[in-house]
């Protein structure tokens, strides 16, 4: 994973939707619509008011000019200077101080990235303290409680000019060849990681992008934290699924998990299987599935590629949670099923083909043409077609009546012609069975 | 899917009894592939059980249901609910424990609504257990759930401790307390949240000594949990706990935690404190309120997050009302009012509108002089607020001020505000102000009304939104109830009847709707002499909708008329309409004839 540096985005315009939100489930906290005055476009950080009296910053000498003997001391002083927080909602407040901190952060980033031998043990607690003070904060309430990540512009973090540099510093710190996990683990502990994970709820995509890369590095370098990180991600997901239905960073966490799953040892531990069955599969029920579906499907397929025996759990799970009214989600489910079928083992396919093709038949007869179309595209996939051919005796009787009926009834011409192609394929596959089914279908219809 | 060897499939109809056939169908449907059919069948579960009798319900139906727990959540939810009402169907309290196994499984499923329903049913049937059964059957179930592997069963357990605790022996009580303690420090935040949300309820059933020794330490721990979603639930528990403790213990046992919560770094926790402020105030009593809660409340009113300020603003009136009377006025004037003044010009409209919904209530507490001097300028400022919701909230609470200073003080500023809202581009705003018209009319008096507001009320009758016209009609009725028939005859009836000649048929129909609403309040005389002729004349309208509304109006005003008018004037017109070419007109005319017994 590479750090992607997003171009500085323009401030978003707050959306104007104002609807009565559904009550929150467990914490009893109503997401009251709190649309602010229009001129406010970015978040304050609730932390700002907790600053004790502001002292004025004075510029320190440059790191590059410092004699070697004083370098570490100066580095440390700069870290301490950067612990000062500024009010970014008032954009003209303490401009001098903001500039001094920005310059110091830039220097720290560059120093950690380029020079060797800077990161000595006493600097670890100071660096982690600076990072903690800056990034850990209670995220402010959403400007737009009905925030729809697909439609609405996210609210951006006001203090990003500093925050970005702090994240950049953290990342360079973790990636530095001098970085010593054995020293860092005393400061980057469970409590630290928990707070880091909570920040994934940030509405600002730039922040989540940094967090993703950083968490991935932490997971890669601090082995002692791995199980804990996985467990806490589990908790975040379970809360998202069963309690709040709201968490902005699901896609980013899933992306990290995708590569974590890739690295699982075989045979899969019970813990990992449980994660698949009790967390990943139920994640498909989320209302906001479209935002993280690609990452979720990737994780699911990763699991199958690791261990084919989980296939049946996955397919039966998806069938259990198959969307009943949301056609947009149905198309996503069909897409995921195709990704799964692309890598399915024939022996596993046989175990699920009956319930699966009953559902596919139901999709083909959907009045929504995109659903029907997506299902019919399966017959354009050579591997799936070969699976169907091998099991034609089972599958054709399951879908025949639907195909026949829909070919006569569907309002959309594209669907009708797709169905004709499918029927033609079946006819060529097994003309005897096809004729038998046609005959019995007609008899059935006569009744 | 169960196979044919399942005893249930043979349950009904095995003895060839035809009366059991419908039951056999229901049972078959319990296993149908179609979720909707299974759902229907589950909803009729009591019928099945009744037909099978208590014995077979216990030995056959319940085991069968326990096995089908792998069903869709929707079916499980219905099942969980049904089982809560099953006690009599399994043979009464003596056998109620038979219901525990299926409910236990349901209490462990993932889906929250199913689990919650199962817990609700378990709580219900716990009351029907004898003390012995409670210890033999129910309490072991709670323990199993409390030590379950997956978080779902442990969260469910949290809701069951308080229902069995009061009715078990002291040894078992000690075990229950231990289990609750364990869950309060559970590994997963979901369980800690469940425990925190039940802490207050559990404290209530505990002996006071244990409240002090056990609950307080749990409360303190949960209130400083690493997750704010847990901490904020502890605030809720704080209310119950503070109520249970004697006054002298509050300072040491509760207040440190409460102070900390009011200044929590997470706005969610502070919001919760603001939201529960009145309850907290009552629970801790007047002394602590004066010393601690007043400054805490000031801080919440000045919080940096709008959510918190709005929640606190909502509580201003209640908080002031509940202050100890001896120095209530002084506290309000020196500590609360300055914050309130700032909120009037808050940057956030929700904060302002929360304040506007309660601020008028302060006038009763502060009395006439203070209201005129200090509150009136605030009311006037809010009446001019850019946000309609703020203005509406002020107007809707005018009655509080009226009692204290009379509404005249406000009427100069009131009028422009009302006129502006009455013409707001959003019909919902117009609708809201219409609803306050009768109240305003009552307080401003008939003269002021006739002079300034009557025109508005009539203008709403021809609004282009139906909901407004409908509300305007209803408003007229309430005004007539207030000002009397004579006033109606002089001011509104002529205008309403004039609309009968309007070229727009919608306006002509409004005349009919007004007549429907007004006839009763206006009485027989006005209805017969002035309204009836207009209605009858409209029976010749060229628009069918108007004609069938004439039929409906006649049906409506019929009871107000005397029998002579009914027979000689209404009957012929309805008979004519009953032969109309339009089928709807015919239908409503015939309906009116039969309702008025004119046939």
For chain B, the straight-line distance linking the first and the last C-alpha, in angstroms and rounded, comes to: 62
Which ipTM was obtained for this model?
0.78
| Site from B192, B350, B353 to mutate, A interface, most A CB atoms within 10 angstroms | B350
| Mean pLDDT, residues B250-265 | 90
**Average pLDDT, stretch B388-417?**
78
Most confident of A169-178, B321-330, B560-569: A169-178
CB contact under 8 A, B112 and A194: no
A34: nearest CA in chain B? B350
> Is B251 or A150 the better-scoring residue by pLDDT?
B251
Q: Does A391 touch chain B (CB under 8 A)?
A: no
Lowest mean pLDDT among B42-51, B127-136, B280-289, B352-361: B42-51
Task: Please tell me the predicted confidence (pLDDT) of residue A20.
Answer: 33
Kindly list the residues from chain B whose CB atom is less than 8 angstroms away from the CB atom of residue A46.
265-267, 304-305
User: Smallest Cβ distance to A36: which of B151, B236, B348?
Assistant: B348
Of B226, B265, B268, the CB nearest to A50: B265
**Nearest-by-CA chain B residue for A285:** B111
For A25-122, where are the alpha helices, taking DSSP H only? 68-81, 95-114
Question: Cβ contact (<8 Å) for B197 and A28?
Answer: yes
Cα distances (angstroms) measured from residue A330 to each of A366, A368, A434, B83, B590: 10, 10, 29, 34, 51
The pLDDT score that the predictor gives to residue B398 is: 77
- CB of A141 within 8 Å of a chain B CB? The answer is yes
Between vectors from CA B41 to CA B35 and to CA B42, what angle results, nearest 5°? 90
Of A25, A36, A191, nearest to B112 by CB-CB distance is A25
DSSP state of B334: I
Of A34, A194, A238, Cβ closest to residue B348: A34
Output the pLDDT for position B174: 93
Q: Could you tell me which of B290, B242, B236, B278 has the C-alpha nearest to residue B261?
A: B236
- Among B236, B304, B350, beta carbon nearest to A28: B236
Which among A29, A50, A282 has the least Cβ separation from residue B232?
Answer: A29
Residue contact B307–A32, C-beta within 8 A: yes
Contact B266, B231 (CB under 8 A): yes
Mean pLDDT value across residues B206-210: 90
Which tens digits make up the pLDDT trace of A398-439? 999 899 999 988 899 999 999 999 999 998 988 889 888 888
* d(CA A230, nearest CA chain B) in Å: 13
A23–chain B Cβ distance below 8 A for any pair: no
A49 touches chain B (CB under 8 A): yes
pLDDT tens per residue across span A23-67: 333 333 333 333 333 333 444 444 444 444 567 778 787 877 777
- Look at residues A119, A97, A98, A94 and name the one whose alpha carbon lies nearest to residue A108: A119
Closest residue to A46, CB basis, from B111, B233, B305: B305
Report the 10 Å Cβ neighbour count for B140: 12
Contacts of B402-406 with CB under 8 Å at 24 or more apart are B402/B443, B403/B363, B403/B364, B404/B363, B404/B364, B404/B367, B404/B368, B404/B371, B405/B363, B405/B368, B405/B371, B405/B372, B405/B376
Taking the C-alpha atoms of A296, B116, B1 and A317 in order, what is their torsion angle to the nearest 10 degrees?
0
CB distance A140–B267 less than 8 Å? yes
Instruction: Count Cα neighbours of B365 within 13 Å in the Cβ-side half-sphere.
Output: 27
For residue B350, the distance in angstroms to the closest alpha carbon of chain A comes to 6
So what's the pLDDT on residue A42? 46
B598 has a pLDDT exceeding 60: yes
Q: Tell me the three state secondary structure of residue A93.
A: coil
DSSP B20-72: GHHHHHHHHHHT-S-HHHHHHHHHTHHHHHHHHHHHHIIIIIHHHHHHTTTS-
Average pLDDT over residues B59-88: 84
Question: Can you tell me the mean pLDDT for A74-83?
Answer: 89
Give mean pLDDT, residues B382-386: 84
pLDDT of residue B59: 84
Q: How confident is the model over A6-19, as a mean pLDDT? A: 34
Six token digits for residue B416: 């422009």
Q: How confident is the model at residue B423 (pLDDT cuts 50, 70, 90)?
A: confident
> Mutation test of the interface with chain B: which of A29, A189, A198, A244, choosing the one with the most B Cβ atoms within 10 A?
A29
A41 near B CB under 8 A: no
Flag if B189 and A138 touch (Cβ within 8 Å).
no
Residues of A in contact with B349 (CB under 8 A): 35, 37
Measured between CB atoms, does A238 come within 8 Å of chain B?
A: yes
**Inter-chain touch B193–A238, beta carbons under 8 Å:** no
* Interface touch A49/B232, C-beta < 8 Å: no
Higher pLDDT, B437 or B274: B274
Query: In which band, very low, low, confident or very high, does the pLDDT at B23 lie, cut at 50, 70 and 90?
Result: low
Q: Which pLDDT belongs to residue A145? A: 67
Question: Which residues of B fall within a CB distance of 8 Å from A32?
Answer: 307, 310, 350
CA B418, B420, B425, B426 torsion: positive or negative?
Answer: negative
Mean pLDDT over B238-257 rounds to 89
pLDDT band at B395 (very low <50, low <70, confident <90, very high): confident
Distances (CA, A) of B19 to B26, B56, B547: 13, 16, 54
Exposed, middle or buried by CB within 10 Å (0-12, 13-18, 19+), for A19? exposed
The pLDDT value recorded for residue B17 is 55
Burial A346-363 (b: 16+ CB within 10 A, else e): eebbebbbeebbebbbeb
Local confidence band at B70 (pLDDT 50, 70, 90 cut-offs): low
Per-residue pLDDT band for A11 (boundaries 50, 70, 90) equals: very low
* Interface contact A18, partner B, CB < 8 A: no
Q: Which two tokens stand for residue B571?
A: 């009957």
Question: What pLDDT does B18 receive?
Answer: 57
Partner-chain contact B190 A138, CB within 8 Å: no
Among partner residues B226, B271, B305, which is closest to A29 by beta-carbon distance?
Answer: B271
- The helix (H) or strand (E) run that includes residue A157 is strand A156-157
In the A/B pair of chains, how many CB contacts fall below 8 A? 82
Share of chain A above pLDDT 90, in %: 57
In the prediction, which pLDDT does B562 show? 86
- Chain B residues whose CB is inside 8 A of the A243 CB are 112, 190, 193
**What share of chain B in percent tops pLDDT 90?**
43
Question: Residue A280 pLDDT > 90, yes or no?
Answer: yes
A278 contacts chain B (CB < 8 A): yes
Average pLDDT over residues B84-90: 89
Q: How far is B442 from chain A (nearest CA, A)?
A: 32
Residues of A in contact with B111 (CB under 8 A): 242
A32 with B350: Cβ contact below 8 A: yes
A105, A165 contact by CB (below 8 A):
yes
- Contact between A141 and B348 using a beta-carbon 8 Å cutoff: no
* Cα nearest neighbour of B196 on chain A: A27
Please name the residues in contact with A413: beta carbons below 8 A apart, sequence gap of 6 or more. none
How far is residue A236's CA from residue B42's CA, in Å, rounded to a whole number?
A: 34
Question: What's the pLDDT score for residue A24?
Answer: 32
Quickly state the pLDDT bin for B63 (edges 50, 70, 90): confident
Q: Are B586 and B578 in contact (CB under 8 A)?
A: yes
Q: Closest-CA residue in chain B for A275?
A: B150
* Separation in Å, CA of A228 to nearest CA in chain B: 11
| Cα distances (Å, whole numbers) of residue B33 to A57, A333, B1, B37, B281 | 72, 21, 9, 8, 56
């Amino acid at each position: 994973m590479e750090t992607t540096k997003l171009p500085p985005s323009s401030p978003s315009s707050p959306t104007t939707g104002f609807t009565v939100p559904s009550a929150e489930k467990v914490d009893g906290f109503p997401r009251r619509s709190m649309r602010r005055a229009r001129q406010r476009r970015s978040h304050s950080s609730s932390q700002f008011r907790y600053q004790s009296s502001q002292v004025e910053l004075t510029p320190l000498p440059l790191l590059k000019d410092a004699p070697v003997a004083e370098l570490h001391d100066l580095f440390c002083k700069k870290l301490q200077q950067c612990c000062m927080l500024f009010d970014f909602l008032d954009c003209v407040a303490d401009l001098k101080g903001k500039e001094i901190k920005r310059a110091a952060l830039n220097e720290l980033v560059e120093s950690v990235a380029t020079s060797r031998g800077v990161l000595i043990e006493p600097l670890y607690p100071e660096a982690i303290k600076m990072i903690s003070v800056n990034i850990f904060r209670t995220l402010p309430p959403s400007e737009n409680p009905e925030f729809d990540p697909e439609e609405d512009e996210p609210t951006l973090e006001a203090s990003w000019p500093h925050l970005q540099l702090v994240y950049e510093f953290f990342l360079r710190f973790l990636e530095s060849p001098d970085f010593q996990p054995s020293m860092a683990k005393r400061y980057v502990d469970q409590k630290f990681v928990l707070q880091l994970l909570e920040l994934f709820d940030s509405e600002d995509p730039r922040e989540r992008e940094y967090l993703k890369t950083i968490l991935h590095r932490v997971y890669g370098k601090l082995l002692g934290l791995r199980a804990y990180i996985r467990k806490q991600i589990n908790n975040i997901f379970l809360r998202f699924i069963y309690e709040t239905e709201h968490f902005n960073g699901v896609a980013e966490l899933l992306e990290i998990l995708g590569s974590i799953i890739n690295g699982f040892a075989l045979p899969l531990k019970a813990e990992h299987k449980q994660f698949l069955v009790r967390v990943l599969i139920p994640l498909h029920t989320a209302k906001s599935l479209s935002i993280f579906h690609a990452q979720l499907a990737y994780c699911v397929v990763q699991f199958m590629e690791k261990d084919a025996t989980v296939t049946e759990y996955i397919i039966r799970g998806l069938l259990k949670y198959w969307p009943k009214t949301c056609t947009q989600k149905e198309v996503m489910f069909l897409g995921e099923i195709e990704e799964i079928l692309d890598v399915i083992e024939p022996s596993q396919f046989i175990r699920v083909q009956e319930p699966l093709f009953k559902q596919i038949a139901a999709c083909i007869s959907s009045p929504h043409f995109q659903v029907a179309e997506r299902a019919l595209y399966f017959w354009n996939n050579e591997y799936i077609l070969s699976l169907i051919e091998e099991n034609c005796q089972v599958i054709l009787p399951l879908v025949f009546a639907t195909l026949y009926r829909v070919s006569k009834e569907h309002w959309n011409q594209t669907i009708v012609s797709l169905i004709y192609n499918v029927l033609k394929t079946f006819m060529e596959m097994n003309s005897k069975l096809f004729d038998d089914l046609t005959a019995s279908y007609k008899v059935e219809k006569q009744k | 899917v169960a196979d044919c060897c399942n005893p249930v499939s043979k349950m009904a109809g095995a003895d060839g009894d035809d009366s059991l056939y419908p039951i056999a169908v229901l049972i078959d449907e319990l296993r149908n592939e179609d979720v909707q059919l299974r759902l229907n069948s589950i909803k009729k579960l009591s019928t099945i059980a009744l037909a099978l009798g208590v014995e077979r319900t216990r030995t056959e139906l319940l085991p069968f249901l326990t096995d089908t727990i792998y069903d869709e959540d929707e079916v499980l939810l219905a099942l969980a609910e049904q089982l809560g009402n099953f006690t009599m169907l399994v043979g009464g309290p003596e056998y109620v424990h038979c219901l525990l196994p299926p409910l236990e499984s349901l209490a462990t499923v993932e889906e929250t609504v199913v689990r919650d329903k199962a817990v609700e049913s378990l709580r219900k049937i716990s009351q029907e257990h004898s003390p012995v059964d409670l210890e033999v059957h129910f309490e072991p179930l709670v323990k199993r759930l409390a030590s379950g592997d997956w978080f779902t069963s442990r969260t469910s357990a949290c809701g069951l401790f308080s229902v069995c605790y009061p009715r078990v022996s002291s040894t078992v009580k000690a075990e229950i307390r231990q289990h609750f303690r364990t869950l309060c420090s559970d590994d997963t935040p979901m369980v800690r949240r469940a425990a925190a949300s039940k802490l207050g309820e559990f404290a209530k059933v505990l002996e006071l000594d244990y409240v002090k020794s056990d609950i307080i330490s749990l409360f303190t721990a949960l209130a400083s949990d690493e997750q704010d979603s847990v901490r904020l639930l502890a605030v809720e528990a704080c209310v119950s706990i503070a109520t249970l403790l004697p006054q002298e213990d509050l300072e040491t046992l509760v207040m440190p935690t409460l102070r900390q919560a009011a200044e929590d770094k997470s706005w969610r926790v502070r919001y919760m404190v603001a939201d529960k402020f009145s309850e907290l105030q009552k629970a801790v009593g007047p002394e602590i309120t004066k010393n601690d809660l007043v400054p805490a409340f000031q801080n919440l009113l000045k919080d940096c997050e709008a959510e918190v300020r709005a929640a606190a603003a909502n509580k201003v009136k209640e908080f002031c009302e509940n202050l100890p009377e001896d120095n209530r006025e002084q506290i309000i004037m020196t500590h609360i009012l300055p914050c309130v003044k700032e909120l009037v010009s808050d940057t956030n409209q929700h904060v302002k509108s929360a304040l506007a919904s309660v601020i008028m209530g302060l006038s009763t507490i502060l009395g006439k002089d203070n209201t005129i001097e200090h509150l009136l300028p605030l009311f006037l400022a809010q009446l001019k607020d850019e946000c309609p919701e703020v203005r509406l909230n002020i107007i809707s609470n005018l009655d509080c001020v009226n009692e204290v200073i009379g509404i005249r003080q406000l009427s100069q500023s009131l009028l422009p505000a009302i006129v502006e809202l009455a013409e707001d581009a959003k019909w919902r705003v117009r609708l809201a102000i219409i609803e306050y018209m009768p109240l305003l009319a009552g307080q401003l008096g008939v003269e002021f009304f006739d002079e300034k507001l009557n025109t508005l009320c009539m203008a709403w009758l021809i609004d282009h939104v139906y909901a407004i016209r409908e509300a305007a009609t209803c408003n007229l009725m309430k005004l007539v109830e207030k000002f009397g028939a004579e006033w109606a005859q002089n001011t509104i009836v002529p205008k309403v009847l004039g609309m009968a000649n309007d070229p727009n048929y919608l306006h002509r129909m409004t005349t009919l709707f007004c007549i429907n609403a007004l006839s009763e309040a206006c009485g027989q005389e006005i209805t017969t002499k002035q309204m009836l002729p207009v209605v009858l004349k409209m029976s010749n309208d060229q628009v069918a909708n108007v004609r069938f509304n004439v039929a409906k109006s006649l049906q409506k005003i019929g009871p107000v008329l005397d029998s002579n008018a009914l027979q000689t004037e209404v009957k012929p017109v309805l008979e004519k309409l009953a032969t109309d070419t339009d089928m709807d007109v015919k239908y409503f005319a015939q309906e009116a004839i039969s309702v008025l017994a004119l046939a």
